[in-house]
């Protein structure tokens, strides 16, 4: 199955164009398809750059979600410990430390960069399971929730975090494949390095 006829563009939810068919699709679904990284050697340079830009955007989004989920999970873990008598501070008193511990920081991931504190505009609240989890205003309802309910919410967020991390790993794998193709083109003199590595 060749990919020379399939074009994938970064931005928005991703547009897949094949022949006379154009369909709006989620970028993560496009990246997870095997054909996204198949036949890279047959693609023009602008398509390689477009796919690399899509991966870069996805990493920003998934990084944001993952860190937000970690923050929510840490908050719930603290509240559960507090109710069990394992914490002397109130949630409000501990909030600055919890948020600082869960905040963005430098990592070894080659895709990582400093993230905006605002949700990316292309995240699309309500269009994904993770959006629903992050959108639940459970902090405002903590006093009304019993320990079993808090634990259930915490488990739901943890499950979502595992799914986000799994998808992010697949983004890394696709990024590695794109990088290998870029390196080959530069090494073999197929294209100029500045052209290949310039921003899309």
pLDDT tens digit sequence for 119-174: 443 344 444 555 656 666 667 777 788 999 889 888 888 988 998 899 999 999 99
Percent of the chain past pLDDT 90, that is, above it, reads 26
Does the pLDDT value for residue 110 go beyond 70?
Answer: no
Query: What pLDDT score does 147 carry?
Result: 92
- Answer left, alpha or beta for residue 135, where phi above 0 means left and psi between -120 and 50 means alpha: alpha
Query: What pLDDT score does 75 carry?
Result: 87
Q: Where are the domains of the chain?
A: 6-38+45-103+129-197
Give 80's pLDDT tier (boundaries 50, 70, 90).
very high
Top-confidence residue, 17 or 13: 13
Top-confidence residue, 62 or 9: 62
Q: How far is CA 86 from CA 80, 81, 197, in A?
A: 9, 5, 52
Give 23's pLDDT tier (boundaries 50, 70, 90).
very low
Query: What pLDDT score does 64 carry?
Result: 86
Name the nearest CA neighbour of 122 among 174, 68, 56.
56
Give the three-class secondary structure for 22. strand
Percent of the chain past pLDDT 70, that is, above it, reads 64
Tens digits of per-residue pLDDT, 33-71? Answer: 999 999 999 999 889 889 998 999 899 888 988 888 898
Tokens of 59: 């990493």
């Amino acid at each position: 199955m060749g990919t020379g006829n399939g074009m994938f563009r970064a931005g928005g939810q991703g547009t897949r164009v094949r022949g006379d068919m154009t369909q709006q699709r989620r970028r993560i679904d496009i990246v997870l398809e095997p054909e996204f990284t198949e036949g890279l050697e047959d693609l023009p340079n602008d398509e390689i750059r477009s796919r690399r830009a899509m991966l870069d955007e996805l990493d920003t989004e998934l990084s944001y979600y993952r860190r937000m989920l970690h923050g929510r999970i840490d908050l719930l873990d603290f509240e559960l410990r507090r109710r069990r008598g394992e914490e002397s501070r109130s949630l409000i008193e501990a909030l600055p430390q919890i948020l600082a511990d869960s905040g963005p920081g430098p990592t070894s991931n080659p895709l990582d960069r400093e993230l905006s504190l605002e949700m990316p505009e292309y995240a699309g609240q309500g269009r994904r399971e993770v959006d629903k989890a992050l959108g639940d205003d459970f902090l405002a309802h903590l006093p009304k929730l019993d320990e079993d309910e808090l634990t259930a919410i915490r488990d739901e967020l943890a499950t979502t975090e595992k799914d986000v991390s799994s998808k992010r790993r697949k983004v890394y794998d696709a990024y590695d494949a794109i990088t290998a193709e870029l390196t080959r083109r530069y090494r073999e003199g197929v294209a100029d390095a500045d052209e290949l590595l310039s921003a899309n």
